Structure formats: structure tokens, C-alpha cells
């Protein structure tokens, strides 16, 4: 059954009303709908990572993340953000500090302990970084530098805590009275520095490496997250090496991630 057919199945199953056209995500298909008169987003995906992310969204219970109205098999029904404001636009129009503070506040809420046990299937950061090791061995250089820092950080992780895994400007949305909330987690387990490092790679390299931007972000994120600037930079270099390794495995040029890694390493 196609993903569009799966959308139709869940629309009928949950008595939803279509409220826009279906569109694709990297690992699924989404459609705006109405659920009991409320704006919602229906998502279906066959990717195990996305399905596990739905379980994590349910566990957060709408605290720091969008509310889950229903979840079953490959389907997830979420509250829908209606505000036109976006963190990427905020950063590009010169209010990057505010965007970073919002992302850090969202991360802190998601990282907070919960009374219920975390869902099974969370991916430890040690496992997440496995893609970097063979690339570092084969290519050395910047990859080796990132791998060496990653190994040291992984050996002395804080926590561990439940991580979003893909905390960036496109995955924290304005839900109006409910504030800025996260969507699309990857579901990792480890040091919170990993989540904050991703901020430095977004929303694009022009913003991330504008003159003085890295230094300003470092001061802002360190203050908002409570992480020491040096440790934060180390996580940035480690994360960028991993991102570059993923890009390389996809057959694309990883120059963006490597450029940010070089800039962060220079500040170290």
C-alpha cells in the first residue's frame, strides 16, 4: 500500500477531515487534517526511526513537544503549528540570539527527567557515532580530529538523558499560546551537548558562518544551555564530523559540515 493510501486509511479510521494537500518528508508522508475541530498533522512512515520518534513524542506528553492525539502502527497524529513565524527566518533576519535561546529552552524541556520510564529503542550516542569511525580511519584529517574528540566526549558523557537527536531551526515550531515546541525527534540517549551542537549547523551555512556568528552563538548557547564553551565547541566539532561522514556516504560533498568543524576547532 502506498503512503498516500495509508494516509487515506488513517483519515477514515480516525474520522479526520482533510485540511490541505499531502506532502512528502524525508522519511514519510504528511497531510494537514482536522481532528475533532482541532488543527492536526497526520504523518505516516515506514522508517523504524520515525516510528520510534512517534513513541518518544507520546512519552513527552506535549511538554516541550507537540501533543500526540493518536498513534498506531506507522501513523502519528499531532497537533499542528499554525503560526507563520519560523526560527530559520528569525535567524536570517538578524535575530539569531533569540532563535538560539528558543532552541536551548526547547532542548532543556525535552531533556528534563520524567516520572515514567523512557520508551524502549532509544539509540545510544556511542552507536550513533559508529558511522564516523571508519571514515576517520580511511581519510584522517578533519575526520580524525572529530573522531578523537567524539571518543573523548563519549567516554565521559553527562547524564545520560533522552535526546531529541535532530534539534534545529526546522524542528522547533511556534504553537502560539503553547509556545515553541519540538517535532520529528530521532530518539537518542546520551549527553545533551549533542543536541545543542546541531544548532551551530543551521539553518544554513551562510547564517552559521556569517562574520562573528559562531562566536556570538557560542556565547548565547553556552549561557542558555549551561554548557561550558569549550565542551560545547568540542561537541560541535564531533557532531560536524559525524554529519560530514553521513553526507559522504550519501555521495554528496560534505564541505559545509567540514567548514563549520574547522571554524569551531579554530576557536578551541
Residues with catalytic roles: 166
Rounded to whole angstroms, the Cα distance separating 125 from 190 reads 6
| Residue closest to 54 by CA, chosen among 75, 81, 34 | 75
Count of CA atoms in the C-beta half-sphere (13 A) of 49: 13
Count of CA atoms in the C-beta half-sphere (13 A) of 145: 16
SS3 100: helix
Which residues partner with 163 through β-bridges?
188
Instruction: State residue 37 phi and psi, 5-degree precision.
Output: 85, -5
SS3 168: coil
| Length, in residues, of the chain | 268
Amino acid at each position: 500500500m502506498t503512503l498516500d493510501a495509508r494516509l487515506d486509511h488513517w483519515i477514515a479510521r480516525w474520522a479526520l477531515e482533510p485540511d490541505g494537500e499531502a506532502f512528502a518528508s524525508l522519511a514519510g508522508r504528511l497531510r494537514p487534517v482536522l481532528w475533532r475541530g482541532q488543527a492536526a498533522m497526520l504523518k505516516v512512515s515506514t522508517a523504524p526511526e520515525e516510528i520510534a520518534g512517534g513513541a518518544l513524542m507520546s512519552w513527552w506528553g506535549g511538554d516541550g513537544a507537540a501533543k500526540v492525539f493518536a498513534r498506531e502502527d506507522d501513523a502519528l497524529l499531532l497537533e499542528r503549528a499554525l503560526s507563520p513565524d519560523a526560527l530559520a527566518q528569525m535567524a536570517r533576519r538578524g535575530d539569531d540570539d533569540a532563535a538560539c535561546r528558543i532552541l536551548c529552552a526547547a532542548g532543556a524541556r525535552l531533556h528534563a527527567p520524567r516520572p515514567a520510564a523512557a520508551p524502549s529503542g532509544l539509540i545510544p550516542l556511542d552507536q550513533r557515532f559508529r558511522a564516523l569511525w571508519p571514515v576517520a580511519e580511511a581519510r584522517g584529517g578533519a575526520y580524525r580530529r572529530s573522531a578523537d574528540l567524539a571518543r573523548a566526549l563519549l567516554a565521559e558523557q553527562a547524564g545520560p538523558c533522552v535526546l531529541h537527536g535532530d534539534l534545529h531551526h526546522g524542528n522547533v515550531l511556534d504553537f502560539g499560546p503553547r509556545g515553541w515546541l519540538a517535532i520529528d525527534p530521532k530518539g537518542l540517549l546520551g549527553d545533551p551537548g549533542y543536541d545543542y551542537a546541531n544548532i551551530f549547523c543551521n539553518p544554513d551555512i551562510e547564517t552559521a558562518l556569517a562574520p562573528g556568528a559562531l562566536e556570538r552563538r557560542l556565547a548565547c548557547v553556552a549561557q542558555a544551555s549551561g554548557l561550558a564553551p569549550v565542551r560545547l565547541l568540542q561537541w560541535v566539532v564531533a557532531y560536524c564530523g559525524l554529519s560530514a561522514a553521513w553526507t559522504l556516504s550519501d555521495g554528496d560533498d560534505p564541505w559545509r559540515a567540514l567548514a563549520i568543524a574547522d571554524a569551531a576547532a579554530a576557536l578551541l
